[in-house]
Amino acid sequence: MKKVKRKAGEKRSQIAAMPIRRAADGSPEILLVTSRTTRRWIVPKGWPMKGLKDHDAAAREAFEEAGVVGRISDTPAGRYTYWKRMRDHFTLCEVKLYLLEVEQQLENWAEQHERDLHWFKLADAADLVDEPELGTAIRELETQLVLAA
């Protein structure tokens, strides 16, 4: 694996899906997954993929990490930054968030034995995630969804 030299303080880019659906009562829910190493609640995310637009890469992450497919927005619904734990250091990442309207949840998917997943009300999900900026983005999502309805 080739290491890329970065300037001190330079952010690395990541992409993420915010899988959403409507609960039986009509309220919006978001699907969170656990990270593989620290088991924190997060949204499906990863590095940009060569040959894929960022929103398509975010949809692929949701498919691999959570077994969900649907319609992905082509523009970010938000962004957040966090410190990613690497093997021997931390790196600052900026994550672009894309809304994924879930149409199907698969019974089997690539990382199902590596992660837990659960649908949460937006306020609960915002409280559960460790990254404050992600929590804020999830809280703001409720406003966006109400305006879009």
Q: Using one digit for the tens of pLDDT, what is the confidence trace for 23-74?
A: 999 899 999 999 988 899 999 999 999 999 999 999 999 999 999 999 999 9
* Residue 22 backbone dihedrals phi, psi, to 5 degrees: -100, 130
Domains located in the chain, CATH noted: 12-148 (3.90.79.10)
Structure tokens at 71: 């319609």
* Interatomic CA distance for residues 51 and 35, integer angstroms: 25
Rounded to whole angstroms, the Cα distance separating 85 from 57 reads 21
Q: What is the pTM of this model?
A: 0.89
pLDDT tens column, 89-102? 888 999 999 999 99
Decide if 6 contacts 54 (C-beta within 8 A).
no
The span from the CA of 73 to the CA of 70, in Å, is 10
